[in-house]
Structure 1
C-alpha cells in the first residue's frame, strides 16, 4: 500500500491531508465539548444543528465550486481555501454564544465544500493506474481512521493540561501546514470540456450521478452510512458524559474506537477488492451498519458502547472507501471533478437528514429512540440500494446503439450499435435499459 507514496506529488498531498485531518479531528472533539459547555445535556441538539448547517453549506457550495474549478489554477485554489479555513478556526476559541458557533461553522465548511471535491478529483489524474489509485483510496481511508484514533488520543492527553478551547489551535496549525504542503507541488491542470453555461456546469455532475444506476445505488447506500456515522458523531458525547457519567477523555476514547474499527478494514481492503467486487463489499458494509445500529438499542455500559463503535467503524469503512473507484469508472476525466462534487454534495445531503434526526431524537425523546429511528432509515436505504444497484447495471462494457446520432458522427464510425466502456456524457445521455 505504501508504494504509492513514491509518487512525490501524491506524497505531498497525502501528508497535507493527514496534517489537516489531525487538526480537524482536534476541532471535532473540541466542538462537541464546546456544545456541551454551552448547552449541557442539550449538546446533542446543538451539535446536530451545527452539523446540519455544515451539510447545508456542503450541498449548496460544492456544485457551484466545481463549476468554476476547471477555470481556476488548482494549487492556488486549494492553498487559498486552506488559509480561509485556518482563519475561521482561529476564531472558534472565542465563541461565547451558540449562534456564533453556527455562523463560523457555515463559513468554515463552505471553504471545505470547495476544497475537498477539488482535492479528491485531482488524485485520479496524478495516479491513473487502477491498482495505484485503489491503494491511494485505502491509504486515504487509513488517514481518516488514524486521525480518528490519533486526534481523540491527542485530545485526551492535551485536555489533562489545557482547556478544550486550546484544541482549536491544532486545527489552525493543521490547515496552515496543509497549505504549505500543497504549495510545494505542481498539480495537473483541470481538463476543460466544451463551453457550457453556468447552469450546465453546476448541474453536470448531478445529472451524470442520477442517470447512472450504480451511482443511484451509491446514493442510497450513502444514506445508510450517514445514519450510522451521525449516531456516532452527534451522540457519543451525550452517551458517555450524560448517560454513563464519564469524563471528557472517555468521549475521546469512544470516538477513537470508531476510528480503530474503520482502520482495520482499510488495511485489508486493497487485497479484499482484488477478490470481491465493489458492489458486494459496499453492501456488506452497509449491512454491518444496519445491524450495529439495531444492537445499539441494547447498549447499557461504556465498554459495550466501545465494542459497538468498533463494529460500526468497520462497516463504515467497508461501505464508504471503495466509492472513489465507483466514481472513477463512471466518468470521463473531464467530468470527474463535477462528479466528485456531486457525490460530495449528495452524500452530505444524507447527513443533512441524519445529523438533526440523531440530535433531536436523542434530546427530545431518548437515545434509544435515536438508535431505533436511525436503524429504520439505514435499513430502508440499504434495501433500496440493493434493488437499484443490480449486478446487470454494474458492467463496465455495455452494448448499446445510437439511433439519435447522424451517420457521419465520429462516435458511430464503426456502426450505430456497438459496445465499449460506458459512462454518461454528451454522446451517452441515458443509460441503456433505464
Structure 2
C-alpha cells in the first residue's frame, strides 16, 4: 500500500510540472473508443479561478487545443485485454491530438471504467493543536482513519475527504483556518483491482508518456454531466459506455459511491449481430441509425435492409422490421438498468434528499432510453451532456465525451485526495492501532 501512496504523490508532482509547462493531455481509455484531448493552461487563469464551477461558467483556466479519437482495440469491459493493440490505439489518438495542437505532450492523465471498483466509507478524528486548523491537523485526521480490508490484489484509486466536522459544526467543505478543538473527517475510498492499474501503467509507459494522474470514469463523467445543484443535493450519474456502465453518486459536491456494471452498448450490438446473423460492423450501423427501445404501430411497417456479402442474393437482401430490432435491443438494456437499480438500492440512494438520475455516455443516445430508465429506476431521469469548455470541438460536445471533458476539469481543479497532505508513510492507516489489534485477536 505504501508503494501506491508514493506513486500517487509522484503523479501529483508530475501534474504540477505539466501545469508549469502549460500543456498536458487527458486520455479516456474506453471499450469502444480511445479519445485524447490536449489542454493548454493559462497561469493567470489558474491564479484567477480556483473553483471547478467557474470552469462550468466559461471561465476555465485551460483551453482545448487538440483532439484525437480512434476505435478502441484490446480493451474489454473497460480493462486492457491486449497490451499491444491498446498501445497502438493510444499512440494513434495521442499523435492525432498532437498534430492538431502543433505541440508535443509528455504528461497525460488517464481515466478508465473497469477494474471492478468498490466504495468504502471511513471516519477519523483528531485534536487541533493550536486551536486553528492547519494542514497538519487535517493530515492527522486523515491518518486516524482505519483502512478497511480491501482484499487481495486491490489498490486505492481515490481517497477523498467528503465532510469535515469541527466541534459541533459539520458539513464543512474546508476547515483550514477555522477555530476549534476537535476535528473529524468522513472519507470516501474507492479501490480497484491492482492488475488493471498495472496493465494501464505499462501501456502508458510504452507510449513514452509520463502519467500525471489516474481517475475513475464514473467519477469524472459525473463531474462534467451533473449541474451544480445536482452535485449539491444528491444525484446519480449513469455513464453508459461500450463495454461497461459506470455508476457514481454525488452529494455535497463530492462523490460518495461508485460502481461499474460489466455490460454496455457493445453487448446490445452483439445481441443484434447474433439475432439477425449479420457482422458486428453492420449491427453497429443498424443500431445507430434505426435503433430504439419503444415500439409504435409505425415500426411494424418500417423495414430495414440487411446487407450481406455471402454471395446468396436472397440471404444478402433480407429485411427486418424496426419493431423486431427494438425487440432485440430492449431486453439487454432492461437487464443493464435492472442491475443498476440493484446497485442503487445497495448504496442507499433512496435516502438522498434529491434522487435525480442523469444518463450520459455513448450508449445513452438510444431513443426512448430516458422513458425506459424512468420506469425501471423509478426516479427523475434526464439525458446529460458534458459542460462546454473553451476550445472544445463541436464533435466532442456529445454525451460520448463526458469522461474526456470531466477528466479535463479534474486535471485543472482536482479535489483534495489523501496524498495531497503531508501524511508520513508510517502513519498510513494500513498500520493503524485498530488494524493491529484486530490482527492480534484473529491470530492468537
Classify the TM-score, shorter chain.
under 0.3
Point out the structure with the larger helix share. Answer: 1
Q: What TM-score, normalized by structure 2, do the two folds share?
A: 0.26
Point out the structure with the larger strand share. Answer: 2
Q: What TM-score, normalized by structure 1, do the two folds share?
A: 0.26
> Rg: which structure is higher?
2
